[in-house]
Amino acid sequence: MVRPPVEWINSAWWQWGAWQSEPNFERWFPVMLKSLQWHYKLNIVKERFPKVDLRVLPLKPTLLTDIAMLCGLEATAFASVGSVANSSLPAVVLRLYQAFPELRPGPHASGIDFSILRALNDHSTAFRRAPWVINRELIQQILTQTKTSSQALTAWMSEQDAADFKQDPRWWSSDAYQDREYEHPQMQVHSFDLAKYAKVITIAYRELHLQSLATTQEATPGSRPRES
């Protein structure tokens, strides 16, 4: 499965780059840009495993259905997987991590993510999606340097996927990102909104923790609440 490289870069920053010991977007970006020549990597796999039938699926809303059918399963095999099963963290949580690095000390220290998402799941507050840290100049740079590689990916796609892929502007045109409002990759200031939402997160997380304690105590015979 492949996603448009511009979107991939933005997601990769929030998944790995922002949580390095000394995060620096200007140093990180050129390294990631070089990694986007995906067709080279597919060629290497094909050379080493010539009998393997490679298929590339472009990211789209029907992805789970496409994978199920490709694996010979019923089209509804993944129907129970929620639409937000792999959702990224909202902007306020990511900025909170940047403001307080001890909450996310490294790229793979993501255990707290699931607890926070669960704690916020039923909260009425609307949260913005992950900040968009790719400016117009970088968007064009990504599209230009990945165009040849992206075009080559169609060799591993079905005829229909290749046709849809070629018509998807996210792979080819900066106009597809006109509605994205650029934000600086690094945390600039501790804003009022951050403090307000941090309080929401703290309350929600505390409620989740208390629910977990209550469940544990109910499941343990003879357990009793700890005296304060």
In three-state secondary structure terms, 2 is strand
* Percent of the chain as helix, strand, coil, to the nearest 5: 55, 0, 40
pLDDT surpasses 50 at 160: yes
Task: State residue 184's pLDDT score.
Answer: 93
Task: State residue 99's pLDDT score.
Answer: 82
Going by pLDDT thresholds of 50, 70 and 90, the confidence category of residue 213 is low
Residue 137 token pair: 């100049």
Q: 200 with 123: CB under 8 angstroms? A: yes
In three-state secondary structure terms, 194 is helix
Tell me the pLDDT tens digit for each residue of 33-86: 999 999 999 999 999 999 988 889 898 877 777 777 777 777 665 665 554 445
Alpha helices in 25-135 (DSSP H): 25-34, 38-48, 63-70, 91-99, 111-120
Dist. CA 93–CA 195, nearest whole Å: 11
Going by pLDDT thresholds of 50, 70 and 90, the confidence category of residue 23 is very high
Task: State residue 197's pLDDT score.
Answer: 62
Tell me the pLDDT tens digit for each residue of 161-198: 999 999 999 999 999 999 999 999 987 655 556 666 66
Look at the block and give the residue holding tokens 């045109």.
173
Residue 108 token pair: 């793979």
**pTM reported for the whole predicted model:** 0.78
Cross-strand pairs, 2? 58
Q: 54 with 46: CB under 8 angstroms? A: yes
